[in-house]
């Protein structure tokens, strides 16, 4: 098969590295206190856990982008997802996880916890998705968080999704979600976090939906450290690595630079700038390297998403990119977790400017 310019198309690299251990079993995890048991932990249940980006942040005990993220006082009791790839990747890198159809789960069978977390599916709220909101069965999956909270009454609920949720249909769908939690006695704060303003080397903005029982004060958004890192600073050391001495660096989609335009995923990154948003791209359209004539590798995308190099992805490039692109960046999740920990401890310092007015 030939490209539009008549040249033959390059074939994809189909290597699938074999990993026996993931982050949890590395010396890096030991050094960062990953296995430390908090003296008085706050219990956490994770729904829609994916490969574990949000959970790794809430757990702590990892190094990424030149920073050590300390072990928190949260203990994740269990993590549930309906995707077996997610479950197996989570088990390899973090700990116990179960495959579960969350659309049909009986919440009474789930354990009571202090904090419920979950990045519920974003496809129906995303600018690159259907934009059908809560009119679809998938768009209604946030309701399992509501059902759990109504039955078990966790002290705090942390939901995560895409920023378009706030504007889609004039804010109708976000209002529906807020009202659902309000109907069971939870007050809601909406935190909009621009990840590149806080150390993530890619353009990425996320909404955190924070629910608290009415007997507790409604927390303001965290005061995050403001620092910036560009793509070349994050991955320049990987430019000469073409094997698995750094996990998943040999995996990338072989393609020549787009001959015209730059559709979603076909942009070329620029040195001295933030990377384009890392997406869960099912068609291999991953952005191109700022200097090398290829698309970004799986490891480079994982770095840009804030995963430590010790966190490995054991599948094909396409399956791995789905895991990475759907994840919450662990450093951002860690910042949120540390603030929630302070809220529970009664020592939180807040920044009202990061909190959005409720729609």
Confidence of residue 10 (pLDDT cuts 50, 70, 90): very low
- Within 10 Å of residue 220's Cβ, how many Cβ atoms? 19
Q: Which string of b and e fits 291-319 if b means at least 16 CB within 10 Å?
A: eeebbbbbbbbbbbbbbbbbbbbbbbbbb
Confidence of residue 354 (pLDDT cuts 50, 70, 90): low
Rounded Cα distance, 355 and 30, in Å: 36
Confidence of residue 23 (pLDDT cuts 50, 70, 90): very high
Domain with residues 23-227+329-356, CATH architecture: 3-Layer(aba) Sandwich (3.40)
Is the pLDDT score of 264 beyond 80? Answer: no
SS3 content of the chain, % helix, strand, coil (to 5): 30, 20, 55
Rounded Cα distance, 196 and 83, in Å: 29
Rounded Cα distance, 156 and 152, in Å: 11
Quote the mean pLDDT of the chain: 89
Distances in Å between the Cα of 61 and the Cα atoms of 29, 154, 287 are 6, 24, 30
| Predicted local confidence at residue 356, as pLDDT | 54
Query: 147 near 107, Cβ under 8 Å?
Result: yes
Rounded Cα distance, 232 and 300, in Å: 10
Rounded Cα distance, 212 and 202, in Å: 31
- 5-9, 89-93, 169-173, 262-266 — which is least confidently predicted? 5-9
Task: Report the half-sphere exposure of 312 (CA within 13 A, side-chain side).
Answer: 23
Is the pLDDT score of 297 beyond 80? Answer: yes
Q: Containing H/E element for 320?
A: helix 317-326
Rounded Cα distance, 349 and 148, in Å: 29
Query: 134 near 128, Cβ under 8 Å?
Result: no
**Could you report the per-residue pLDDT of 106-137, keeping only the tens digit for each?**
999 999 999 999 999 898 888 777 788 888 88
Rounded Cα distance, 185 and 163, in Å: 25
Close Cβ partners of 332 (under 8 Å, ≥ 6 residues apart): 57, 193, 195, 198, 200, 206, 306
Domain segments of the chain: what residues?
Answer: 23-227+329-356
Question: Of all residues in the chain, what percent carry a pLDDT higher than 70?
Answer: 89
Give the length of the chain.
359
Q: What is the pTM of this model?
A: 0.92
Query: 105 near 144, Cβ under 8 Å?
Result: yes
- 41-55, 83-97, 164-178 — which is least confidently predicted? 164-178
Query: 106 near 88, Cβ under 8 Å?
Result: no
Is the pLDDT score of 200 beyond 70? Answer: yes
Residue numbers annotated as active site: 122
| Predicted local confidence at residue 263, as pLDDT | 53
């Amino acid at each position: 098969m030939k490209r539009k310019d008549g040249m033959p198309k390059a074939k994809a690299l189909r290597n699938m590295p074999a990993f026996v251990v993931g982050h949890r079993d590395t010396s890096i995890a030991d050094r960062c206190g990953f296995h430390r048991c908090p003296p008085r932990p706050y219990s956490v249940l994770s729904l829609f856990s994916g490969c574990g980006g949000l959970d790794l942040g809430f757990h702590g005990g990892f190094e990424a982008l030149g920073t050590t993220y300390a072990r928190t006082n949260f203990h994740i009791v269990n993590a549930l997802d309906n995707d077996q790839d997610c479950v197996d990747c989570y088990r390899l890198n973090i700990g116990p996880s179960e495959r579960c159809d969350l659309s049909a789960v009986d919440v009474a069978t789930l354990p009571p916890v202090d904090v419920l977390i979950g990045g519920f599916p974003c496809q129906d709220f995303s600018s690159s998705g259907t934009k059908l909101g809560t009119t679809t069965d998938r768009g209604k999956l946030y309701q399992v968080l509501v059902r759990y909270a109504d039955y078990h009454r966790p002290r705090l609920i942390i939901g995560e999704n895409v920023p378009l949720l706030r504007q889609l249909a004039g804010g109708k769908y976000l209002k529906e979600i807020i009202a659902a939690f309000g109907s069971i006695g939870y007050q809601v704060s909406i935190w909009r976090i621009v990840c590149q303003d806080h150390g993530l080397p890619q353009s990425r903005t996320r909404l955190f939906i924070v629910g608290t029982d009415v007997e507790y004060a409604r927390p303001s958004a965290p005061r995050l450290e403001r620092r910036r890192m560009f793509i070349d600073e994050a991955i320049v050391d990987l430019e000469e690595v073409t094997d698995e001495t750094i996990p998943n660096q040999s995996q990338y989609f072989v393609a020549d630079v787009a001959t015209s335009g730059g559709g979603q995923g076909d942009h070329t990154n620029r040195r001295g700038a933030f990377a384009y948003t890392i997406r869960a791209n099912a068609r291999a359209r991953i952005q191109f390297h700022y200097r090398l004539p290829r698309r970004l590798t799986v490891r480079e995308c994982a770095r840009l998403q804030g995963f430590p190099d010790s966190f490995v992805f054991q599948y094909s490039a396409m399956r791995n990119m789905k895991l990475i692109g759907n994840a919450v960046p662990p450093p951002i999740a860690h910042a949120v977790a540390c603030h929630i920990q302070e809220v529970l401890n009664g020592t939180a310092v807040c920044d009202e400017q990061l909190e959005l007015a409720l729609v």
